[in-house]
Structure formats: structure tokens, C-alpha cells
Amino acid sequence: MNKHEPFGRKLDFRNGRVDLSHGSGGRAMARLIADVFHTAFDNDWLRAGNDQSAFDVDAGRMVMTTDGYVVSPLFFPGGDIGRLAVHGTINDIAMAGARPLHMSASFIIEEGFPLADLRRIAESMGEASREAGVPIITGDTKVVERGKADGVFISTACVGVVPSGLELSGDKARPGDVVLLSGSIGDHGVAVMSRRENLAFETAVVSDTAALHDLVARMVDVAGASIRLMRDPTRGGLAATLNEIAHQSRVGVRIEEASIPVKPQVAAACELLGLDPLFVANEGKLVAIVEREAAESVLAAMRAHRLGKDAALVGEIVDDDHCFVQMTTAFGGGRIVDWLSGEQLPRIC
């Protein structure tokens, strides 16, 4: 064994595949972690080589979240499972108005998974985490037999810190508040759908996957506690998010269909597939419930940010014991926007 290569044989990134030895705790696993994950995520915490990482925190309120990613296909227009995992986890923290600090990533890899794909995913995660300024400081790797997982599953955790005086929560919407949406809906779900094996259609739609914490920070700067709550409308789409808010806060929500941005190509794809963009997933959008007086300034702050340039006021919170989400259709009639029944699109995140 060469002393410069303590973990034995180099990984063959051209033709090599993950095998059970890569999860067995031996040299092969150490090599995989070093050459794939440490290389891609590179930071001092990982270089220390411990089973955990320590960091100092300021006094204050902390938030923590955990998330799992099983998207199929693993690579889709505008992103991949790795990028999605970083963004989705950061967004869960950001929706508390918090600043994300550090995250972890754990991989469950199926035997036979191409090493090149694993490296591509890890590099994409590293890039996303550097862009967001949220390092991945600890992780885990497991390999399961062929057929026991679908390529690779990623689970993550993240901690963040909330500015003092801010307590966003799903039960804080009050009649009179307004509903702000940061941009067009349905992009992620349609982008993933467009790459499904049995549903190939040419489309220019790319996933909107993005980390929203910087946009959130700008909003908090201008409005602080005038922001009642924020949510990112992922699975179940805008419809599910608004229904969650209505039920948690025991209020009704009224929205205007004409004010909700939907890209024409997303609308067209939804039309073909019989989907309603209101129920299609997003990975780089947020809904904010804001005091009416602060709406203009928050909206201006959102529109000044690249991730909120199409932000719009789409509705208001009303008094309603039934907690209905109602919509005035662009056609001029009224309808309920209900929870999704069953599954519209499986495995989109």
C-alpha cells in the first residue's frame, strides 16, 4: 500500500459502481467518503474526521429540521437530488425567519449505483451548500443490496438561529392579513414530470429549486414581526400550504386565480396531463402571510430580490369557521381550493 493512498485502490469514476464493501466500514468506505463526500463538501469540520462536528452558537432561539429526499428521476431539468436536498432543508429553516447555520447529510445508496452519478450528486450538493453559505459538517453513508433502494436516498438535518423578537408560526394568520407569493407556481413538479421515463415531452420548464434564506432575510429586515408566518409550498403545492395555514390558524383564505403567476409552459403541461398548478410542487417559492399595512414594503423587498421578482399579492385571510380556502376563478365564478386527494405526482422531492 502506498503511504499517500492509505485507503487502497482509487475509485473508478468512469465505470465503477458502488458495492457492498463501500458501506462495510472498511477501507473502501473510507475511500468513498474521502474521495466523494469530503472532496465535494470540503470544510474544516469534515477534515477533522470525527463522527460529529462541534460549533459555537450565539445566545438566542435556535431552530432545527430534518428532511428526506427520494426524488425520481435523480437528475431533472434545473437540478438533481443533491441540490434539492440542500435547498429544501435550508428552506425549512428559513420559513421560521431563521438564518441557517450548518447541515448534515446521510446517504443510503443502492448496490450497483454508478460512482460517477454519486460524485455528480455530491458535487452538486457541495456547490449548493457553498452558494448558500451553509456548510455540510457531518454525515453518514450506508449501502444496501440491489433492489432495496432506488439509486440513492438522502436525508438531511439543519440548524439555524432566529432573530430576536421573531416567532413565525402556522397559527398566526389573522383575518385582514394578506397572502404574498414569491413567484410562479408548478415549475418543479412539471420539470420532474417531464423527465419521467414513460412521460417524455419536450419542455423548457426547469425546476425552481433554490435556497430562500437570503430572500427571507430581506423580508425580515423590512417587516420583522409584521410577517405572521411563511411556508414553502412543496408537495401538495400552493393548495396544500394554504389549507394547512387555514386549519392551523382557524381562519379562511380567499385568493384570486388571476393574480397567481403560472408560466405559460407550466400551464400548458398541466393542461396536457390533467394537473392543476395549484397542487403541483415548488422548491424555490414561499408564501408569506403578512399584516396588511406591511404588504407593500414586503412585496417591494421581495421584488428587489432575484428569487422574488415575480412576487404577487394573491389573496387575503378572512374569518371562516369552516377554514375553507376559496378562490375567485379567472372566469368569474367561485370555488373551493381543497387539499389534494390521493397523489397527483409521486416522488417529486
Partner 1 sequence: MKHVDEYRDGELARGVTRRIAAEARKNREYRFMEFCGGHTHAISRYGVEDLLPENIRMIHGPGCPVCVLPIGRIDDAIRLAKRKEVTLCTYGDLMRVPGSNGSSLLKAKADGADIRMVYSTLDAISIAESEPNRQVVFLAVGFETTTPPTALAIRLAQKKNLINFSVFCNHVLTPSAIQAILESCDANDPGAVQIEGFVGPAHVSTVIGMAPYRRFATDFHKPVVIAGFEPLDVIQAILMLVRQINDGRSEIENQYRRAVAEDGNRKALAEIEDIFELRESFEWRGLGEIPFSALRLRDAYAQFDAERRFCVVTQSARDNPACECGAILRGAKRPQDCKLFGVACTPETPMGACMVSSEGSCAAHWAYGRFRRHEQRRAAS
**Residue numbers of the site for partner 1 (CB under 8 A)?**
198-199, 264, 267-268, 271, 276, 322, 324, 326, 328-336, 338, 341-342
Q: Which is nearer to partner 1, 164 or 341 (CB)?
A: 341
Distance of CA 311 to the CA centre of its chain: 18
Any idea what DSSP says for residue 81? Answer: H
Indicate the residue among 147 and 342 with the shorter CB distance to partner 1.
342
Nearer to partner 1 by Cβ, of 147 and 264: the residue is 264
Distance CA(166)–CA(97), nearest Å, equals 7
- Nearer to partner 1 by Cβ, of 25 and 333: the residue is 333
Question: At its nearest, how many Å lie between partner 1 and the CB of residue 344?
Answer: 10
**Closest CB 272 distance from partner 1, rounded Å:** 10
Q: Report in angstroms how near the CB of residue 322 gets to partner 1 at its nearest.
A: 6
Identify which of residues 160 and 277 has a Cβ nearer to partner 1 in the complex.
277
DSSP letters, 220-231, are HHHHGGGEEEEE
Count Cβ atoms within 10 A of the Cβ of residue 196 and give its class: 0-12 exposed, 13-18 middle, 19 or more buried.
middle
Residue number with CB closer to partner 1 (164 or 331) = 331
Q: Scanning the structure block, which residue is given the C-alpha cell 440513492? A: 152
Cβ atoms within 10 Å of 251's Cβ, excluding its own: 24
CB of 315 to partner 1, least distance (A): 15
Residue 306 or 322 with smaller CB distance to partner 1: 322
Give least dist CB 74 to partner 1, A: 20
Cβ closer to partner 1: 59 or 331? 331
Residue 36, classified by CB atoms within 10 Å of its CB into exposed (0-12), middle (13-18) or buried (19+), is buried
- How near is the Cβ of 343 to partner 1 at its closest, in Å? 9
- The residues, ordered by sequence, that sit 6+ positions from 65 with a Cβ below 8 Å of its Cβ are 89, 92, 93, 157, 158
Cell 427520494, residue located: 70
Least gap, CB of 176 to partner 1 (angstroms): 19
Identify the sign of the CA torsion 181, 183, 186, 189: negative
Category of 287 on φ-ψ map: left (φ > 0), alpha (ψ -120 to 50) or beta: beta
Query: Rounded to 10 degrees, what is the CA torsion of 301, 303, 305, 306?
Result: 170
Q: How far is the CB of 279 from partner 1 (least distance, A)?
A: 11
Going from the C-alpha of 319 to that of each of 81, 173, 179, 251, 255, the distances in angstroms are 40, 10, 14, 5, 14
Q: Are 115 and 9 in contact (CB under 8 A)?
A: no
